[in-house]
Amino acid sequence: MSRSAQEAAALLRGLRILLEACGREHLAHGRHLWSNSSIRELIAENVAHTQQLVRSSSQNPTEELKKLQQTVKETGERGYVVAKGICSLLETKIKMSREESAISEPAQVSSIRKSTPTAQNPASWDAANLDISSITLQEFEEILSRRNKDRSVSLRTPATKSNQTMPKKETSTNPGIITQDTEYVNNVLRFVAGAKVEEQPPDAQPKKKSDQPAIEVPELSKVAKQRKVPSSRIGRMASFGGLFAGLGLGTLNELTKGALGLGGSTSMREALLSPANAERIVDTLCKVRGAALKIGQILSIQDSSVVSPQLAKAFERVRQAADYMPDWQVERVMNTQLGADWRQRLKSFEDKPFAAASIGQVHRATLSDGMDVAIKIQYPGVAQSIESDIDNLVGMLKVWDVFPQGFFIDNVVRVAKRELQWEVDYDREAEYTEKFREMIAPYPEYYVPRVVRDLTTSSVLTTELVPGVPLDKCFDLSYEHRRHIAASVLKLCLRELFEIECMQTDPNWSNFLYDAPSRRLMLIDFGSTRFYRHEFIRNYRRVIMSAAENNRQGVLEMSREMGFLTGYETKQMEQAHVDAVMILGEIFRYDGDFDFGRQNTTERLAALVPTMVAHRLCPPPEEIYSIHRKLSGIFLLCARLNVRMNCVPFYKDIVLGKFKD
């Protein structure tokens, strides 16, 4: 063999050795990747799951077939929700873009005016200096709005204007009025629903004058912003369509990341309640407000066994929402409800509200006779969209299997719809305010403001502006004041139930004001007020009496008679129900100063909720939703006030003494 042939053979052997070494290296690297890959575990889990399905199918094929049918059904429903949301977005894209551009026009006009020299001169806003042909109607509304923004509007002549201005707010010197324990207050108020006035720092509180005390009103926080409420049916449907599609895509994204080991979730429930989806829920409900926002607020107070903590946290953010209508939208609502001359009927009107809630916002104003009033203005479109808003939100949550079976969400929704129909009818609220004012007149420790009928419609309610601070701002008052507040609130609740059989069922403590100088409770916001059937109150009284007498059998028998129980419940369910009633009756059994600050009523009741939800066979009577919502709020308020008081005299005087059977 020649030398060249030998060299070629040696070269080929070297290449072969090199290729074999590279192959072994790549194989080792591949094995290393496979041993550390989540795909291997995922395949193993799927194989094990498949084997388990095969075994269970062979043992019980009928049950497995039902599960398969249910899975296919749920998958189809969820896919339909996503498809429906995407279709809604596509159908309304053009309309929404036009609407958003129309909404943004006032802000754009405002920016243009600020950037030009004439915008700095108020004279440039006069009709003589405007080119009407070059501006739109909304631009003109914005110009009018800017003239009135951040100031009280005086409708008096220049000669008398200086004598008619509102008193100037000064810094409060009483830091005890407003607690700094905001986080604790928010946790307490999670158990109550309804509107919430935003807290403000102590230095923003006005100071009372020694000769003529001014009425103090809270203010919205600095983070509150103007945001148009979608009033048309198409606009609201488009908002929910976007939410449906966003939740579906967000859930799919989380599941995909979980399958690939990129930090997502492999659980459908956890993927649905991801932080991104929670943000979508909060943003949409804060935008549409109204009934959907109210349902979100109600769900925020449920136990974690009923609504997941992630969803409850999202709804809690919804409950704290404080967005309010832009000035031009307020002007439009007031013109529609009271006429174009409504400002001429007032001496002053503050354009920025001092409170904003799920259904409306509240402005301070002064009548021509000098009377200070609170004007509550309803968001446009919320009254007409109660049915559709609630059905859209709850339907979506039901499809995604958010509620446990024993929650009876359909019953909750039916009651919520009826109560919301009451709350959006301001004519009804005005009537009940006047009725309650008359019924509570014999008790001087309470005061109900007068209604100004001339400035009240179905969507605008004007009442006397009363002094006082919300009860959740009274936790740092002296013990004497705190005990007086707790006793007054508890006696009011008992009188509502067993004397007048009519209750203001919204326990939001921003709707109850305490006036320290007069030691009176100012009762406001009667939108959720209702009367109860005498027969129901009579039977409920017997339940309370049995609990106060430590008669467990009496509680059980009356609960069956009233419809709390069917008689076919498990012993575990019956015991949990009776335990809950006995816990509520403790304050009437303890003949001494009951320590609300150290009681654990809320914790013990919360421990019973999972059992009652899992084993309940029928929904409770519809009246009980509002009563127990109010009672829960009272227990929590008394606990936060940290008072000790003997409740037995209240029980004997009101429950036993004054009830007419």
Cβ-based neighbour number of residue 168 at 10 Å:
8
Q: Which of 91-95, 386-390, 532-536 has the lowest mean pLDDT?
A: 91-95
Give residue 155's pLDDT band: very low, low, confident or very high (50, 70, 90): very low
Q: Note if 661 is an active site residue.
A: no
Which of these, 102, 100, 140, 146, lies nearest to 327 by C-alpha position?
146
Residue 209 has pLDDT above 80, yes or no: no
Q: Are strands 460-464 and 372-378 parallel, antiparallel or unpaired?
A: antiparallel
pLDDT band of 259, cuts 50, 70, 90: confident
What is the rounded CA–CA span in Å between residue 648 and residue 645? 9
**What angle, 0 to 180 degrees and rounded to 10, lies between the N-to-C axes of helices 409-423 and 290-299?**
130
Question: How would you label 351-384 residue by residue, b for 16+ Cβ within 10 Å and e otherwise?
Answer: bbbbbbbbbbbbbbbbbeeeebbbbbbbbbbbbe
**For the segment 293-346, what is each residue's pLDDT rounded down to a tens digit?**
666 555 554 444 445 566 666 666 655 556 788 899 999 999 999 999 999 999
pLDDT at 79 over 90: no
DSSP annotation of 226: B
3-state secondary structure of 150: coil
Averaged confidence pLDDT in the chain: 74
Which residues on adjacent β-strands are paired with residue 204? none
Describe the crossing of helices 623-641 and 182-189 by its angle, rounded to 10 degrees: 160
What pLDDT score does 245 carry?
Answer: 79
**Catalytic member of 425, 472, 506, 525:** 506
Domain 327-383+424-530 adopts which CATH fold? Transferase(Phosphotransferase); domain 1 (1.10.510)
81 contacts 88 by C-beta, under 8 angstroms: no
DSSP annotation string for 276-316: HHHHHHHHHHHHH-HHHHHHHHHHTTS-TTTS-HHHHHHHH
Collapsing DSSP states into helix, strand and coil, what is residue 564? coil
Q: What is the pLDDT of residue 496?
A: 95
DSSP state of 469: E
Q: Other CB atoms closer than 10 Å to residue 528's CB: what's the count?
A: 23
Residue 195 token pair: 């509107």
* Token representation of residue 171: 């810094």
Q: What is the average per-residue pLDDT within 350-377? A: 92
Return d(Cα 67, Cα 65) in angstroms, integer: 5
Q: Residue 304 carries which side chain, given as an amino acid letter?
A: S
pLDDT bracket for residue 246 (50, 70, 90): confident
| C-alpha–C-alpha distance, residues 456 and 437, integer Å | 17
Domain regions of the chain by residue span: 327-383+424-530, 532-657
Residue 370: is its pLDDT beyond 90? yes
Closest CA to 471 of 190, 210, 197, 170: 197
Distance CA 217, CA 223 (A): 18
Model pTM above 0.75: no
